[in-house]
Amino acid sequence: MRAGRDIRIHFQESAQACLAAHAGENHGYWRGVLEEGSAAFAPNLRTRPGVVTAGGDVWPITVNDAIEDNSYPCSLHTQYVRYPRAELALVPTPGQRLAARAGLVVLDALLRIAEADRVVQWSSWLYSTNLHAPTTAAAVGPVTAALAAAFPRHAVLIKNVHEADGTGLPGALALAGYQSITSRQVYLFDGRTKDFAQKSTVKRDLKELGQLRTHHVVEHDAFTEEDVPRITELYQRLYVEKHSRLNPRYTRRFVSRALRGRWLEFRGLRHVSGRLDGVSGCFTHGGVTSTPFIGHDTTLPTDLGLYRHLVSMLLQRVAERGQLLNYSSGAGDFKRRRGGRPVIEHNAVHTAHLPKARQAAFRLLGGLVDRVGRRFLEENQI
Residue 37's nearest CA partner among 217, 254, 247 is 254
For the chain, the straight-line distance linking the first and the last C-alpha, in angstroms and rounded, comes to 42
CA–CA separation, 140 and 349 (whole Å):
12
Helical axes 12-21 vs 27-36, angle rounded to 10°: 160
Average pLDDT for runs of 10 along the chain of length 382: 71 94 92 97 97 93 90 96 88 84 93 97 97 95 97 98 89 97 93 79 91 96 98 97 94 98 98 98 94 96 95 93 90 87 95 98 94 67 54
Adjacent-strand bridge partners of 252: none
Write the single-letter amino acid at 238.
Answer: L
How would DSSP label each residue in 103-116? HHHHHHHHHHHHTT
Question: For 116-144, what is the HEC assignment?
Answer: CCCEEEECCCCCCCCCCCCCHHHHHHHHH
Q: Which residues are within 8 A (CB) of 260 and not within 5 positions of it... i.e. 6 or more apart?
A: 225
Return the pLDDT at 378. 60
CA–CA separation, 11 and 91 (whole Å):
42
CA distances from 107 to 11, 113, 364 (A): 33, 10, 9
Residue 368's nearest CA partner among 100, 91, 88 is 100
Return the pLDDT at 26. 96
Return the pLDDT at 167. 83
Looking at the whole model, is its pTM more than 0.85? yes
Return the pLDDT at 100. 84
* Backbone dihedral angles phi then psi of residue 232, each to the nearest 5 degrees: -60, -45
How would DSSP label each residue in 7-20? EEEEEHHHHHHHHH
Q: In what order do the strands lie in the sheet with 324-326?
A: 7-11, 48-54, 57-64, 119-122, 155-161, 341-350, 179-190, 324-326, 288-296, 276-285, 265-271, 215-218
Write the single-letter amino acid at 78.
Answer: T
